[in-house]
Amino acid sequence: MPFLQARILDPADDWVVFPNAFVNTPLCCPSRATLLTGRYPHHTGVVDNEDGAALDEGSTIAAWLDAAGYHTGLVGKYLNGYPFGRGPFIPQGWDRWWGKQQGPATSVYRDYTLIVQGVPEDHGASEADYLTDVLADAAAGFIREAPPDEPFFLWFAPTAPHPEWVSAARHEGTFEDLPVPARPSLGEPDVSDKPAWVRALPPMGAEEREEMREARRDAYETLLAVDDAVREILGAVRDRGESQETVVVIVSDNGFAFGEHRWVRKGCPYDECVRVPLFIRVPGAGHRTEPSLVSAVDLAPTIAELTGATPGGGLDGVSLAPLLLEGSRDGLSGEVFMESVGDERIPAWRGLRTRLFAYVELATGERELYDLRRDPFQLVNVISDPGYATQVERLEGALDAYGDA
């Protein structure tokens, strides 16, 4: 994403970079519900991709900002399963709505349906229908048409870089010769200390590892259209004359493993699945890299404080506004709680991520501990090493404190 990267790296611009940002569940729907509410999945009731209809739509960042006088708009993906068999509805709190209707895997980039202000709008396979571009135009249009006497809130959510990867025609082949360095965990040869679900995964030879690197190139190409979209959206903000009054948050709802620890896709407790990019631009905050551990659950409280909105009760996250504006780390716990109900491949798990350790408890009774100072790629599970007994006891107790409900 060359345009966005140039903006973020510009020391004259007010971007705060968070290299230690994580999701609380590495799966689309639960993570999006957390982003919208500032609550963990076991509190939102959205614990897997089938639970989108369970979200309390009256207690989201959209509802809070709408009540605070903001003109709100969603463009792109909402929650998996939308519109949940209810017909083409607009969830509470959104003034303008371009929500992508749930469809098959082939609808990620083309041949999809958008619900535009409650009316289904079918799109085909032409280049003019390429989803990221259609969403970018809608998002820029929302900003241009927002009432001049009201602040606005835009949630822009393209499906790229979700597989199966299809880039815009103008970007095809851009990265075909791009070197993609292999992480040490790619196809991890020795998984004898990993949980049973990892040990059951087949080993990856040179051909499979190269296929994974090629998949990364394909995914990167889909992001070029997202980069174009960011340029268009920020251009619309500039044309509106409000660049110095507008907060911008760039984040993903989950990571993705391209063969690391022999796993492909999302859902795993390792950094490839749970670590995400996070960049926040707050006018006047200055340019810096912020090393604090933060997570998806913190973003809704942050937006609420920055906008003056009143959030609903029961927040699990903390506002990052003091950190952004004053550099204050008061209130930050220094750890990130994560959870997953699992699926047919990965057992349910819970975990804690600190600066020094990654600790995971699986429903099978298996546990993992990684010393991130010595082992940043999470290759050696030291849970049985007596030298880490004190750390294990502390992390076990800290994880138990989060409870199950």
**Does the structure show a pLDDT above 60 at 405?**
no
Task: Count other Cβ atoms within 10 Å, centred on residue 378.
Answer: 23
Model confidence at 270, pLDDT cuts 50, 70, 90, reads very high
In 3D space, the residue among 225, 219, 218 whose CA is nearest the CA of residue 132 turns out to be: 225
Q: Residue 146 and residue 63: Cα distance in Å, rounded?
A: 17
Q: Residue 359 and residue 395: Cα distance in Å, rounded?
A: 7
Q: Residue 142 and residue 93: Cα distance in Å, rounded?
A: 15
Model confidence at 404, pLDDT cuts 50, 70, 90, reads low
Report pLDDT for 313.
75
Contact 16, 282 (CB under 8 A): yes
pLDDT digit string (tens) for 337-391? 999 999 999 999 999 999 999 999 999 999 999 999 999 999 999 999 999 999 9
pLDDT digit string (tens) for 138-187? 999 999 999 999 999 999 999 999 999 999 999 999 999 999 999 999 99
pLDDT digit string (tens) for 56-95? 999 999 999 999 999 999 999 999 999 999 999 999 999 9
2-326 sits in which CATH class?
alpha beta
**Does the structure show a pLDDT above 80 at 302?**
yes
Q: What pTM does this model have?
A: 0.96
Q: What residue spans define the domains of the chain?
A: 2-326
Report pLDDT for 331.
86
Mean pLDDT of the chain: 96
**Does the structure show a pLDDT above 60 at 401?**
yes
Model confidence at 403, pLDDT cuts 50, 70, 90, reads confident
**Sign of the CA dihedral running 281, 282, 286, 291:** negative
Overall average pLDDT of the 228-239 stretch = 97
Q: Residue 20 and residue 26: Cα distance in Å, rounded?
A: 15
Q: Residue 346 and residue 362: Cα distance in Å, rounded?
A: 9
Token look-up 């409900």 returns 405
Measure Cα distances from 52 to 85, 117, 155, 231 in Å: 11, 20, 17, 31
Percent of the chain with pLDDT strictly greater than 90: 96
Task: Count other Cβ atoms within 10 Å, centred on residue 275.
Answer: 19
Report pLDDT for 320.
97
Q: Residue 200 and residue 191: Cα distance in Å, rounded?
A: 9
What one-letter code names the amino acid at 230? Answer: V
Strand 15-17 and strand 21-22: pairing?
unpaired
Contact 274, 349 (CB under 8 A): no
In 3D space, the residue among 55, 44, 61, 16 whose CA is nearest the CA of residue 301 turns out to be: 61
